[in-house]
Chain A
Amino acid sequence: MNTTHIIGVFDSKSDLLAGIEGARSKNFIIDEIYTPYPVMEAIDALKRKSRFTIAAFVIGFLAVVGVLSFLYWTSVIDWPINYGGKPTNAFPSFIIITLVLTILSVTLGSLFIFSLRARIYPGKKYFLPDERSTDDKFIMLFDKNTSGAGFEAISSVLKASGASEVYEKEF
């Protein structure tokens, strides 16, 4: 079922930040903010948190254990080869491959998790309230049912903070 949304359009980052400040002072609930480039203050204002680095560390740790175990298994258990009397568990020369494969695993794993969590993948059906937000506008989106105020109240606050346009849209 479609819901009505209130969309505030800002021309610059400073206006957007003033808009966020204004909305928060009146306890309006901002649903989402769309920006042409990352605005850390907007991310903080919506209290968005990410455990991305923890995930990357876990992948890296698993990769180190996995690669070293694989190398140990192939070189020592499965098919030991005598290279001029060197020990079959040639640990120091395993480190380089482990390092590189760990980096590879972290990269691919991070991309996968990014895809999963940020929902960025080929063929995704996306929802963009105002197409100008990938170009030059900063868009603040309110869900009319949960925003905590009506169109007039939100519009006047946003306009006072420098919004160039505020309108309603149903989707």
Chain B
Amino acid sequence: MYKADVRGPLILGNKDYRQITSDIIAPIDNKAPNWWKVAMGVAFLLASIGFFALYYTVRYGLGTWNVNNSVAWGWEIINFVWWIGIGHAGTAFSIFLLILRQKWRTSINRAAEAMTVFAVMCAAIFPAIHMGRVWLAFYIFPYPNTRGSLWVNYNSPLFWDFIAISAYLLISASFWYFGMVPDFASIRDRATTKLKKAIYGFLAFGWTGSTKEWLRYEGLSYVLGGIAAVLVVSVHSIVSTDFASSVIPGWHTTLFPPYFVVGAIFSGFAMVMTLMIVIRKYYHLEDYVTDSHLNAIAKILVFISLIMGTAYATEVFMAWYSGNPYEMFTFFHNRLTGDYSFMFWAMVICNAVIPQVMWSKKVRSNTTILFIISLIINLGMWYERFNIVVTSLSKDYLPSSWTTYSPTWVEVGIYVGTIGIFTIGVLFFFRFIPMIAISEVKSVLKPTEITEKH
């Protein structure tokens, strides 16, 4: 009993180190499969739609969107928060599990971090374009300027957000890149063509794997892990203060920071699950991303889903309990019922109800159902952001300024475009970068050996 394994082997198939390198760099060595080319074509099409919509916005101005005086933030902010949320889990996944010494992270962290970088890049498009005159976006930097040396407003959560998102993108990208350096060296040293050796040799920054390098590399990982964990929590808390520090009913609540952070991790984990299932299936990496990996992500998702359900219930309860008529109106007449009630109930069903089926072990071991649930959660999280942004703004304190909101094709186009850009990024990642952290997976092979010898 005392010798029982707490967790089964992390990597299946009785691999040796060489086999691991070969398996993981196989997609880089082989030609791109047909489905990859088709997916890239579709992604380019979507991205082109997005670029056209962006061009149209810049050319003709924000009047091409349906945002108005009341609903001043429409799809752009919804999509911004949605992408940031997805981008959140990559670093959260990687870093929280690194700090907690969870070894099962090694098969998944690389893809999760890649997802973060591409999602945050997509997210950054929205606030930039929402400025209207996007070419003046640099005004937001605090620099000695010709406008009387007028500095930016450091008290504004919107400025905090700008700083937080920029920092998050830089940090996630560098954390991701330095994680890949030893793997690039592995590819470099096994390269068969001169071109590949030169490219991956450059990317590997002269990595050799000596003890001097590994010692500092480990130090770097833990320092970055420790501080980025704080960042993960603070970035989405700051996004939530964009809303919570206003006086709009439905936004002005202290629940928002934890609610947003948890929601972000929820959507991001769902996206990690979507990606891992794709990687597993199409690149035959079932030995690395095992059923027990998906099972672990599903367990985290079902737990977070409960927190989401509690947050939704708390919001409604507090609206009633506060006795504030505006809060009561927003929740009871403009969310639970009213013009946008579909969005509210879709959010509850997608995020708090459907994921509960993952309590069942049968469901957790069925990849198809998990894949569908992961998509449903991402849809549900989009509904949540729509619900927060549009319902509160459409009917505020003055009935004379009440309005409804639906997007124009330009707004939809930009969103579709970001999905295309994200997909292009992910597909390039599949093709040219080791999808699983080779050196980290090798370091967890040993427990497998021991298990199998018993």
Contacts and interface: CB of A to CB of B under 8 A. Distances in A.
Interface of A: 13, 32-40, 42-43, 46, 48-50, 52-53, 56, 60, 71, 74-75, 78-79, 81, 83, 86, 90, 93-94, 96-97, 99-101, 103-104, 106-108, 110-111, 114-115, 117-128, 131-136
A75 B151 contact: yes
Interface string B336-370: 00000000000000000000000000000000000
Contacts of A136: 16-18, 21
Interface stretch (B170-178, B258-266, B286-294): B170-178
Interface in B166-225: 166-167, 170-171, 174-175, 178, 181-182, 185-186, 188-190, 202, 205-220, 222-224
Contacts of B182: 36-37, 134
A111 B214 contact: no
Given A100-B163, A107-B228, A134-B182, A42 B154 contact: no
B439 interface: yes
A116 to B, nearest CB: 10
B228 A103 contact: yes
B323 interface: no
30 contacts: A33-B210, A37-B214, A38-B217, A48-B215, A52-B216, A52-B223, A53-B222, A53-B223, A56-B223, A79-B148, A81-B153, A97-B163, A99-B234, A100-B164, A100-B231, A103-B230, A107-B170, A107-B228, A110-B223, A111-B174, A111-B178, A120-B205, A121-B205, A124-B205, A127-B208, A128-B189, A132-B189, A134-B188, A135-B21, A136-B21
Given A79-B151, A103-B230, 20 more contacts: A48-B211, A79-B148, A90-B155, A93-B154, A97-B154, A97-B159, A100-B160, A100-B163, A104-B166, A107-B224, A108-B174, A114-B178, A114-B217, A120-B181, A120-B213, A122-B205, A124-B206, A131-B189, A134-B182, A135-B21
Nearest to A60: B227
A134 B185 contact: yes
Interface residues of B, number: 62
Nearest to B223: A56
A126 B207 contact: yes
Nearest to B165: A100
A101 B175 CA distance: 16
A74 B142 contact: yes
A132 B185 CA distance: 11
Given A50-B219, A83-B155, A34 B210 contact: yes
B149 interface: yes
A46 B211 contact: yes
B442 interface: yes
Nearest to A111: B174
A75 to B, nearest CB: 6
The 4 A-B pairs of least Cβ separation, nearest first, read A124-B206, A52-B219, A136-B17, A126-B206
Given A79-B151, A97-B163, A103 B21 contact: no
A81 B160 CA distance: 18
A53 B18 CA distance: 33
A150 B149 CA distance: 71
